[in-house]
Amino acid sequence: MAEVEEPSRLRFERQPSPVLAEHRPMYKIGQVLLTLSLASRGRRSSLPRLQLFNWATKSAKRQQQLVLDVGEKVLQVPAWGFDPALAIAVRLAIAEGLVAENSTGYEITESGEFFVNEILKDPDMFGRERSFLSAVGKGLTEGMVEATASGWEAK
């Protein structure tokens, strides 16, 4: 007669899983404030432009391309990703009074200026982003972003 084996049991234990820094709201809020402060004319920007900066910060190659494009004054990026985490961070920044919505997008508030100045006091905070945003400077215009985005419309 064949032996019947006792069925084995699976046991699951919950393990904490770290949240990537780029998905943490405070990290994203800091990125938005730095973008508005260091790389936006009049300290204001449209959402597609903020999304472009966010997309570019995820890869050194993208950052290099954007810096080159700004130097040539023509955006060569055919499309970029839209991150829901950034949109959530912008909404949270508005709720906290760090960013205000205007007719063309978003602008940094006085409280946001204070917050970003505190970030800038610490050279270790957002080092990679600060370097990239400073390299781009205020050269990436809304017109460049609009010219690229206008080609996305279905015909």
- The string of pLDDT tens digits covering residues 87-121 is 999 999 999 999 999 999 999 999 999 999 999 99
Rounded to an integer, the average pLDDT of 69-85 is: 91
Rounded to an integer, the average pLDDT of 80-85 is: 91
Percent of the chain residues past pLDDT 90, beyond the cut:
74
pLDDT given for residue 22 in this prediction: 64
Residue 154, pLDDT above cutoff 60: no
How far apart CA 120 and CA 132 sit, in angstroms, is 14
Contact 70, 136 (CB under 8 A): yes
Model confidence, pTM: 0.83
Residue 133, pLDDT above cutoff 80: yes
Contact 47, 87 (CB under 8 A): yes
The tens digit of pLDDT for each residue in 5-35 reads 777 787 878 877 776 666 688 999 999 999 9
Structure tokens at 141: 């215009």
Q: Is 5 exposed, middle or buried (0-12, 13-18, 19+ CB in 10 A)?
A: exposed
Residue 86, pLDDT above cutoff 70: yes
pLDDT given for residue 83 in this prediction: 92
